Amino acid sequence: MKITDVKVVTLGHKLPEPNGCSRGRAISFRGAALVVIETDEGLQGIGEGYGPEYYIVKTIVDRKFKPWLIGEDPLDIERLWRKMLMTTVYWDQKGQGVAAASGVDMALWDLAGKYYGVPTYKLLGGDARGNMKIQAYASDLFWDTPSNMAKTAKKHAAKGFPIVKTHLGNGLVEDEKRVKAIKDAIGDDVGLMVDMNCGYDRVEALKLGRMLEKHGVYWYEEPLSPYDVDGYAYLKSKLDIPIATGENEYTKWGFKELFQKNGVDFAMPDIMRCGGITETKKICALAEAFNIACSPHNYTTGVGLAATLHLIASTPNCDWLELDMADYPLYHSLLKRPLEIDNKGMIKIPQDPGLGVEIRKDILKKYSVN
Ligand SMILES: [Mg+2]
């Protein structure tokens, strides 16, 4: 089989209400870069590179990868991955070059599944838990009044998810009001994860962490800048609450530093940016050697969701699928068939060959952006 074409489909959606997170920041637009690989056997692979800056992913794939990918055997995934990384290493060891390679890698794994006629997780090691299911948590609550956030959290908990995640990060006093309100609403049987989106410095982050410990929060996500790996190790030495981080980290080399410095309890590689399925498998293996759990970050379209599902399904030290509960029109609509989620937030592993995704014509027409 040979690659005959590589395209990047760029999609976007303006949110009806901005999603507030730490330090008063808000997300008002979600962009996506989907990589589509065509072959001489008529099979098509679809992947996703981390694409809020979708036009950068498109430019890198079009200009740096496509010219030499055409004519290659798409089943030589390791070799093609290495070549992509070697192409970008001189100017981008952590960033959109790796994200663009991640999108291509994901499309290659989708193609491989279709070529061999099996769902991609079977090529990655099969069902790691033996029950054909993976556990999801409900993500994400965004900054709002304490009572509105509590109401949304309660709605998610009522669907059976054992854990709900919220964004905070606008000062100790205001953060604590929201933690209390959400905890009161969901009760003691449902866990709460708190995500700071890198909002604090070490002094504030330590105070915040102690407050979250007092309220029995399940994990404390990205309190500090991803540059401050020593700061993560410092926080972990002072706090009992598990620290989750890694969505802004890249490749096994980046995670190696985080693990060696003992900076994380739950590693959160993002398949769409850390190096694709190929590299995330290796990051998880590296984490396993440090006895660290992984929970891949997943704020994405349905394509990234599917890749994350297949990866978690086949990886024993992966806990918790991050399931986006927002009404995002590029999420479930890109899956070939609807996810089967039971009343405890367990998701059945999809069985279509490859990743089980498609880009419907109506979606293309409605959400295409340049
Ligand atoms: Mg996060």
Is 297 considered catalytic here? yes
Counted domains in the chain: 2
Q: Which of these is catalytic: 156, 167, 297, 310?
A: 297
Q: Residue 51 above 90 pLDDT?
A: no
Domain of 218, in residue numbers: 122-348
Per residue in 198-210, pLDDT (tens digit) is 999 999 999 999 9
In a domain, 356, yes or no: no
Verify that 79 and 217 share a domain, yes or no. Answer: no
Q: How many CB atoms lie within 10 A of CB 237?
A: 9
C-alpha 294 to ligand 1 mean position (Å): 13
Per residue in 128-153, pLDDT (tens digit) is 999 999 999 999 899 999 999 999 99
Verify that 68 and 177 share a domain, yes or no. Answer: no
In a domain, 270, yes or no: yes
The domain that holds 196 is classified in CATH as 3.20.20.120
pTM over 0.85: yes
In a domain, 355, yes or no: no
Verify that 104 and 130 share a domain, yes or no. Answer: no
Q: Are the beta carbons of 318 and 348 closer than 8 angstroms?
A: no
Verify that 127 and 73 share a domain, yes or no. Answer: no
Verify that 190 and 234 share a domain, yes or no. Answer: yes
Instruction: Please report the pLDDT score of residue 136 as a whole number.
Output: 98
> Nearest 5°: phi and psi at 159?
-80, -5
The domain that holds 78 is classified in CATH as 3.30.390.10
Verify that 25 and 77 share a domain, yes or no. Answer: yes
C-alpha 312 to ligand 1 mean position (Å): 17
Per residue in 82-109, pLDDT (tens digit) is 999 999 988 999 999 999 999 999 999 9
- Whole-number Å distance between alpha carbons of 347 and 335: 14
When the pLDDT of each residue in the chain is averaged and rounded to a whole number, the result is 97
In a domain, 178, yes or no: yes
Verify that 139 and 68 share a domain, yes or no. Answer: no
Per residue in 320-346, pLDDT (tens digit) is 999 999 999 999 999 999 999 999 999
In a domain, 353, yes or no: no
In a domain, 325, yes or no: yes
C-alpha 297 to ligand 1 mean position (Å): 7
Partners of 11 in the β-ladder: 32, 368
C-alpha 33 to ligand 1 mean position (Å): 20
Q: Residue 300 above 90 pLDDT?
A: yes
C-alpha 269 to ligand 1 mean position (Å): 10
Residues near ligand 1 ion, CB 5 Å cutoff: 195
Verify that 28 and 175 share a domain, yes or no. Answer: no
Instruction: Please report the pLDDT score of residue 140 as a whole number.
Output: 85
Instruction: Please report the pLDDT score of residue 34 as a whole number.
Output: 98
Per residue in 232-247, pLDDT (tens digit) is 999 999 999 999 999 9
Verify that 105 and 137 share a domain, yes or no. Answer: no
User: What are the residues whose beta carbons fall under 8 Å from the beta carbon of 193, sequence distance 6 or more?
Assistant: 137, 139, 163, 164, 165, 166, 217, 218, 219, 221, 244
pLDDT, average across residues 167-190 = 97
Verify that 47 and 169 share a domain, yes or no. Answer: no
Verify that 108 and 33 share a domain, yes or no. Answer: yes
Give the residue among 217, 173, 169 at the shortest CA–CA distance from 192.
Answer: 217
Instruction: Please report the pLDDT score of residue 261 as a whole number.
Output: 98
Verify that 52 and 175 share a domain, yes or no. Answer: no
